[in-house]
Copies of this chain bind each other. A is one copy, B any other.
């Protein structure tokens, strides 16, 4: 591969002129510019990124807006690990990451932390726009400042994000439904369990439920689908009561829990030895892994949480440094896990 020096020699100009042509800077006559461009075409010159990074030697700062991570069983533990890995890999490129953590169950916390973020300065933002409207309002300021941003985990239509990295929630719900149809019989019923503390609309979870239902709707099975909302995760009493009521009133065999909180239900099932019940849930935190290994949970859908953080950070970096424009939507594989393959990630 030719270097700038080589091209310069071939064109009988200095490397400075070649440099100007490459970067489309002014100060080159049309004639020489075309000559150099032709030589570059013919010899296939490509910039040496290593040398480029070394020469630029700038500092970059990426802001991350995501939920608080308290323990390794939190869903957001893995994305954060991914971000950390990417930033370690890029440390030599003088990249640094600033975290802005909010409470995912508290709308005001999201607003406040996002506002705080906007007070600072940085080169790019990685965020999970969990609260759609509140995010949308604030992204305008990033657009104004021409700061690129990438979404992970939650999708927000109509924004100027350079990329979304995450799962196709609707289709993951449909996959869950297919598996459920294998686990139960046509005379059985299904219960969808939503676990949440407030009434805020969570797009990802609703999309999963839509996908799940649509699978059964298009197939016209006699299977009945019930729903229940479990508020206040800490209060096991209320949860038990609610679940017990639903399970006794109907012929339920399949339980679909469209979030990582499947363990809340699984613990109940395990405790009451309801082994005939089939559970499908999401995500691979420690608790869920334990519950799938002992087959209390039958299937887990993994959304590559680690990869979301890792790839999101990398995407931003490549965009800033190398001007690599990523695809707008990067739907990750919908990974299906059972006892048999849960150890391989």
Contact = CB atoms under 8 A, between A and B. Distances in A.
Interface string A5-26: 0000000000000000000000
Interface of A: 1, 46, 48-51, 53-54, 91-94, 167-168, 171-172, 174-175, 178-179, 182-183, 215, 331-336, 338-341, 343-345
30 contacts: A1-B91, A1-B94, A46-B92, A49-B92, A50-B50, A50-B54, A50-B92, A50-B93, A167-B344, A171-B340, A171-B341, A171-B343, A172-B341, A174-B340, A175-B341, A178-B339, A178-B340, A179-B182, A182-B182, A331-B343, A331-B344, A333-B335, A333-B341, A333-B344, A333-B345, A334-B340, A334-B341, A334-B344, A335-B335, A336-B336
Given A51-B54, A172-B341, A331-B344, 8 more contacts: A46-B92, A48-B92, A54-B54, A171-B344, A215-B340, A332-B344, A334-B341, A336-B341
Contacts of A54: 48, 50-51, 54
A45 to B, nearest CB: 12
A317 B192 CA distance: 48
Contacts of A345: 333
A26 B226 CA distance: 75
Among A171, A331, A334, A338, chain B packs the most CB atoms within 10 A around the CB of A334
A88 to B, nearest CB: 10
Nearest to A338: B178
Nearest to A304: B333
Nearest to A89: B49
A-B complex: 9 closest residue pairs judged by Cβ atoms: A334-B341, A175-B340, A182-B182, A336-B336, A174-B340, A175-B341, A333-B344, A331-B344, A49-B92
Contacts of A332: 344
Contacts of A91: 1, 46
Contacts of A178: 338-340
